[in-house]
Amino acid sequence: MAEYRIVDVFAESKYAGNPLAVVLEAGSLAPDSMQAIAREFGFSETTFAIARGESGCVVRIFTPTAEIPFAGHPTLGTAAVLRAEYGLGDEVVLELGVGPVRVAFAPDAGGEIAWLEAPVPQLGKEHGRAATARALGLDESDLAPALPVQEVSAGIGFLVVPLASLTALRRVRLDSPALERLLGATPSIGVYLFCRETHEPGRDLAARMLFEATGVREDPATGSASACLGAYALEHGVFGPGALALQAEQGYEIDRPSLIRVRAELEAGVPRIRVGGRVLPVSRGRLE
């Protein structure tokens, strides 16, 4: 059977960041087998490398409950694994459900950063503050003033919620029925919460991402949601005018501290968002 690799993505040290399982040479696996394997690993996502080319691979991404067209940390982690396994160059192209996504590797003082360019984010519907606060187990005063609660999509959708403090971020308790009433006809999406207060000095924001997958789960680090944040921040001037270079913390509340780098700028009025982080190998094995 196929071999697999496990890596930690957006991790500054091993056993931090967001773990990812990458199953190699998975072209013979049926989709229901991929889903079962993803459920067995139990990570936020597991990827399957289907057909290899000169500079990349066709890749499918599964959560424990469904296949999804794009996600940030699986894209970066899979590209890093394929590069190491197959001797690929400093740019790897993954054919995902959203189309080709390029991942570039650049040297950094601490080693190497993998960067992806996200699908162009789309800003969507805004939601009421009072109803949002109820769905999060918070008071309306816990939401950041003068910033909207808004749906944003970059291959996959999120409800972006700005909060006033780190204390509020820590107190969030997602009420799934209330969230369903808030979103209405919108398909199930993750809830991405952020605040300007941080756990570590020198960072720009702290974030959490909660989602439904056989109950409420929390993601240690979410690259696609970070891309949505970049577009949201440009649109609403969260960090001032002009291009952005941000460092976002995530995963501290579940003991998986992560550091996500976001570069955001407007080109001819269209947001260009890049998301980067470290990818650290953890283990390897074989499916029986």
Both tokens assigned to 82: 């394929």
Angle between helices 223-236 and 72-86 (to 10 degrees): 130
160 near 152, Cβ under 8 Å? yes
- List Cβ neighbours of 146 (8 Å cut-off, separation of 6 or more): none
CA dist., res. 165 & res. 59, Å (int): 38
Task: Give catalytic status of residue 45 as yes or no.
Answer: yes
Task: Name the nearest CA neighbour of 210 among 232, 192, 230, 183.
Answer: 192
Distant-in-sequence, close-in-space partners of 73: CB < 8 Å, separation ≥ 6: 9, 10, 17, 18, 20, 44, 45, 221, 222, 223, 277
Catalytically annotated residue among 12, 25, 40, 45: 45
Separation between Cα atoms, residue 42 and residue 38, nearest integer Å: 6
Tokens for 92? 């790897």
Catalytic site residues? 45
